[in-house]
Amino acid sequence: MSLEECKSALQDSGLCILPTETVYGLACSALCPHAIKKVFFLKGRPINNPLIVHVLDHDSAKEICVTNTRSKILTEKFWPGALTLVLPKKKCIPTEITAGLNSVAVRSPSHPVFREILEMVKLPLAAPSANPSNKLSPTSLQDVIDAFGAKCPPMIDGGQCEFGIESTVLDLTVQTPSILRFGPITKEQIEEVLEMEINSNSSSPHKKLNQSQKSPGQGSLHYAPETPLYLHSNHMKMLKSEIIDKENIIIIPKDLIPQTEIENNKRLIFLPASNNSLKTAKVLYATLRKADKLMGEKIHIALYPSTSQLFTAINDRLTRASTERV
């Protein structure tokens, strides 16, 4: 699909698959309720789960939400980029976008293809991850094709996503800013820019959220592979357990595997080194997809001990994807 064809589709209440620096998005006009309903239907997305609206910059955000000094400071530092801000919405934003709430989640993507489309359509675009609701997010165009098959909307290929996990979401509608979803922009980075401590109120995984959410990614059993995922408290305990000899798939950082016979286990899948959060995040969903294809009874993986860099976000995704904690 050409950029011009994508522009026409989006301006005519249609859908389009677009690349972002985080994951691939299922884009539509954020001002068109009819188009927004198409997105929810195709994804099978609960109506209490809002969509993030994508804009070019802070000035563009002012057209759809009420900005403030904090939003200005943060966008000067992190936009375009993987930080989503929750702010009071303006009337032009349909309630279908916001799950009926008076706030809207907004960000400015850095991917050049998405930015060019925003400049062409001159519309804010909603763009949740281009996959069925609660399943693994797509980090390549092939992931999208595999997810939607014949139902796949027109697509633009932007290559592999830079980060591989979804944006950080920060709530600015409360007195003390609060992280609603962990992502590439860390709590420490935000606190340094705002020169204040902030809260981390990402909802407890597996908690049933029947009420409307301020942010995507807060529901139970999110980002999940098809195969049941068993989450261990640490990698060494996982390797010492009885799972090695069974029909299980084991995912582990390559630097943590001991020099034993399990190195040749065909159901052993390696992640990047345990101290490299950027590389780990980038391939996390692809690795879980690879594990799915091995058709094992269970996938076993462990939490990372570090909370630095992107490891908090990685652990959050693993926890929400897990069937059971071990």
For residue 259, the model assigns a pLDDT of 54
Whether 3-200 shares its CATH topology with 229-325 is answered no
Listed by start position, the domains of the chain span 3-200, 229-325
Nearest C-alpha neighbor of 113 from the set 158, 148, 146: 158
Q: Angle CA(141)–CA(219)–CA(56) in degrees, nearest 5?
A: 50
Homologous superfamily of the 229-325 domain (CATH): Threonylcarbamoyl-AMP synthase, C-terminal domain (3.40.50.11030)
| pLDDT > 70? residue 35 | yes
Neighbours of 222 (CB within 10 A): 23
Averaged pLDDT of the chain: 90
What are the tens digits of pLDDT across the range 154-203?
Answer: 999 999 999 999 999 999 999 999 999 999 999 999 999 999 999 987 65
Share of the chain above pLDDT 70, in %: 92
- The stretch 83-110 carries a mean pLDDT of 96
The domain made up of 3-200 has a fold known as DHBP synthase (3.90.870)
What pTM value is reported for the model?
0.92
